[in-house]
Structure 1
Amino acid sequence: MIRFLLAIVFLFVAPASFAQSDSCGLRITLLTCNPGEELYSTFGHTAIRVQHGPSGTDEVYNYGMFEFAPDFYLKFIRGKLLYSLTIETYPDFLYTYQYESRSVVEQEVLLGCSQKQNLWAALRENARPENRNYRYDFLFDNCTTRARDMIARYAGKGLQWRNILPAESPTFREMLHTYLDGGGQYWSKLGIDLLLGARLDRTVSNQQAMFLPDYLLKGVDSARLNGQRLVSPPRPILQLPSPIKGASALQPMVVLSILLLIVGALSFLPQTRALLKIFDRLFFLLLGLAGFLLLFMWLGTDHKVCRDNLNLLWALPTHAVAAWYTGRNTDRTLTYFRMVCWGMVALVGAWFFMPQALNPALLPLVALVALRSWRLSQPNAYAHKKY
């Protein structure tokens, strides 16, 4: 029923749209879709719509599709997942965003007839089975940058991009944080900050900022082609209330602070020897495994943005081995935890001056590492003592 109604709306809207087009009867528009509730949709989406009056064509070229195969997760983790360009009908495309309650804005690409024909031909050629796949890179080669590059290529040399960034250009991480905070995705934000290294803290250029759909919308809106507008002003074609809900009260900073307070209290209470012994072994084992994961993402995958990750300063892979020696009074064990304790103190002191922005929610966790390392650096760590 919804698709039928959308088709009826299209019958009334399309003639008016084509009436404003040129003699070739070809209309190409850039579609910008608002962020959704799920993590994969937090940053919005971009696609290209092509309408051809003489043939009755109305289709959407979408660079954001991928195949969910049995080895999907392995390819995703290793950075080898292929995305592809697919073609879908405009009513089907619009139905998806109506179902997800995500608004859509349209900007008509104001190219000449031959330029639009060449762009359409290139899109169709790119959508052929042998050409449609590409190696996805979230920052530099995604569904939005592909749409930008296709339009720019067929606009020609007269295209000029105007500045859309503030006086103090943000970093890639700061741009992502804006969307993650706006979507209440604080746990996802923590996960991204854990996995993505110092390369995410590079300052974004005007052109690079257009990896995000909203910034591409601004970029093409202000761009000029031989002194004229590249696209028409944004026109809403689907206006819906945002599906984004308020964030949960159990945010990372709250949960990790509570953990620090509880374990901190137990560390100075009598009769907690057995409990703390289990906690320390599990705690340092998990930290070590996290360190191995970060090393794997750095050295064992094609995700370039996972390299140079300074979270390895607290998630030391060696913790996975040290976990089995907690509470032992050997000089090697006591020295190891003493060095870890002082290392965590130094890390907290340098937290806001490092080349990589570490997530503030990790501060209670690092403080807990320092606390338990200090305790384990003392002989008879689990003996009852008075403080």
Structure 2
Amino acid sequence: MKLSRLLLFLFPLFCLSAAAQPDTSHLRISLLTCSPGAELYSTFGHTAIRVTDSARRIDMVYNYGTFDDSDPNFYAKFTRGIMVYALSRHPYQQFLAAYYEEKRSVIEQTLQLTGDQKQRLNAALKLNALEKNRYYNYYFHTDNCTTRARDMIVQKTGASVVFNNILPEKRPTFRNLIHSYLDKAGQNWSKLGIDLLLGSNLDLQVTNEQAMFLPDYLLNGFDNATADGHPLVAQKQAALIVTPEPPSITLFTPIFVFSALFTIISLLSFSTNIRARQFLNVFDSVFFLLVGFIGTLIITLGAIRIDNVCQSNYNAIWALPTHLPIAFVVYLKRKWLQYYFRSVFVLTILFAVCWFFIPQQINMAVLPVLGIIAMRSYFRGNLPVKKRAASNTTNVFRSSKTINMEL
């Protein structure tokens, strides 16, 4: 009886002793989160994995964000969504120096993993860094340098990682998350370009895991995550603190520029001055050419890209590809052209009226553009139509016949 009680008392101590076995791996694994940069590709920040081996005096950073823009087919592949990225290795101090030069801070989260889990991840990263394994197809919101780092830690350590919710009650969309970074960086024109070309699939609400395609959200996700029942992050510290330069404030924003243009064109449209009419003929040709080009680009990207980010784009309703050929004959006074612009006017007004019901967030700078389209379509649709030459010839013949009869 006494022996059984003694064993019952000693059993938890044995378990505690087994759980508290010393880590002999000499490895330290941490997640590095880099703040946004000035360039568009760095606006959303960056993520990397740091592996420190104190026994071998190795301090290496594994970076899934390497790409080669010297490829002659780079821009063609980029247009189709075929972005080939690669895993690269950099000494930690070299990595830190590069971000110091770019004036970008780095936050380090040391992970609380067992020695065996660290060794597994280290071996997986080394294997992934081999030339034959390091390349992957990059998709900016589903498979990027941040999601790759997360998946390696979650899948290759063998730890049971659980992410707690980091999102507000009203979940944001992919576009909402992207906008928050672009607005903070003052990337107004880039925001307009992204909103024009990326379709309604970006307006789906994100899940907790999907939000972690952005470095800051992965950082928060790790802060609130557990591994095998204990906090995943053992320590969090600033590896590099740099005060970024605030974005310059400018009035040269899309909404200001297009609103000013709408005001000018509206005033000229009601003018009877001959020079104003001549200017508007040239303006309409250039304007509808650009709108038609945008519409053609929207349709083309939706058709040729291998992902779905450009599909179901409602901007194609107002940016009609048919404007492209019409721009070359916009000055003609034809009945069919009059009907065309009347249809464009109605379609544009309907799009503006249904603005808040469209299942896609349309950039606010599009509103004054819609105003210009509606304004010029209205005037083009109500221009006097030139009579056909055949009709004129018939009238001349009839007049001549009448004169002969009178004579």
Name the TM-score, length of structure 1 as normaliser: 0.91
CA distance in 2 between counterparts of 1:244 and 1:93 reads 23
Residue in structure 1 matching 2:260, options 258, 261, 265: 258
**Match of 2:234?**
232
Tell me the secondary structure at the aligned position of residue 233 of structure 2.
coil
CA distance in 1 between counterparts of 2:30 and 2:250 reads 38
CA distance in 1 between counterparts of 2:358 and 2:193 reads 19
Q: Does 1:315 align with 2:319?
A: yes
Q: CA deviation at 1:150?
A: 0.6
1:233-276 alpha-carbon deviations (Å, 9 max, x no partner): 42101011013423322111000001101111111112212111
| Greater C-alpha Rg | 2
Determine if contact 1:288/1:319 at 8 Å carries over to the other structure: yes
CA distance in 2 between counterparts of 1:62 and 1:279 reads 49
**Match of 2:144?**
142
Determine if contact 2:120/2:157 at 8 Å carries over to the other structure: no
Tell me the secondary structure at the aligned position of residue 306 of structure 1.
coil
**Match of 2:288?**
284
**Match of 2:369?**
365
**Match of 1:55?**
56
Q: CA deviation at 1:75?
A: 1.4
Q: CA deviation at 1:323?
A: 1.3
Q: CA deviation at 1:155?
A: 4.2
**Match of 2:390?**
none
**Match of 1:8?**
none
Counterpart AA for 1:278: V
Determine if contact 2:199/2:313 at 8 Å carries over to the other structure: yes
**Match of 2:400?**
none
**Match of 2:79?**
77
Residue in structure 1 matching 2:173, options 150, 171, 174: 171
**Match of 1:41?**
42
CA distance in 2 between counterparts of 1:45 and 1:84 reads 14
**Match of 2:65?**
64
Tell me the secondary structure at the aligned position of residue 308 of structure 1.
coil
CA distance in 1 between counterparts of 2:176 and 2:155 reads 29
Q: CA deviation at 1:154?
A: 2.9
Counterpart AA for 2:151: D
**Match of 2:104?**
102
- Percent identity among equivalent residues? 46
Residue in structure 1 matching 2:382, options 375, 378, 382: 378
Q: Does 1:199 align with 2:193?
A: no
Determine if contact 2:25/2:118 at 8 Å carries over to the other structure: no
RMSD: 1.4
**Match of 1:353?**
357
1:55-90 alpha-carbon deviations (Å, 9 max, x no partner): 111110000000122222111112112000000111
> Please, which moves more after superposition, 231-240 or 133-142?
231-240
Counterpart AA for 1:330: R
Tell me the secondary structure at the aligned position of residue 304 of structure 1.
coil
Counterpart AA for 1:334: Q
**Match of 1:267?**
269
The alpha-carbon distance between structure 1 residues 59 and 197, as it changes in their structure 2 partners (threshold 3 A), is: same
Q: CA deviation at 1:327?
A: 3.4
Determine if contact 1:37/1:244 at 8 Å carries over to the other structure: no
Determine if contact 2:111/2:235 at 8 Å carries over to the other structure: no
**Match of 2:310?**
306
Residue in structure 2 matching 1:161, options 154, 160, 163: 163
Counterpart AA for 2:364: P
Q: CA deviation at 1:381?
A: 8.2
CA distance in 1 between counterparts of 2:305 and 2:26 reads 47
**Match of 1:124?**
126
Counterpart AA for 2:292: G
Q: CA deviation at 1:158?
A: 2.6
The alpha-carbon distance between structure 1 residues 78 and 244, as it changes in their structure 2 partners (threshold 3 A), is: farther
Unaligned ranges ≥5, structure 1: 1-20, 383-387
Determine if contact 2:31/2:47 at 8 Å carries over to the other structure: yes
Q: CA deviation at 1:126?
A: 0.7
Tell me the secondary structure at the aligned position of residue 344 of structure 2.
helix
Unaligned ranges ≥5, structure 2: 1-21, 387-407
Residue in structure 1 matching 2:213, options 188, 211, 214: 211
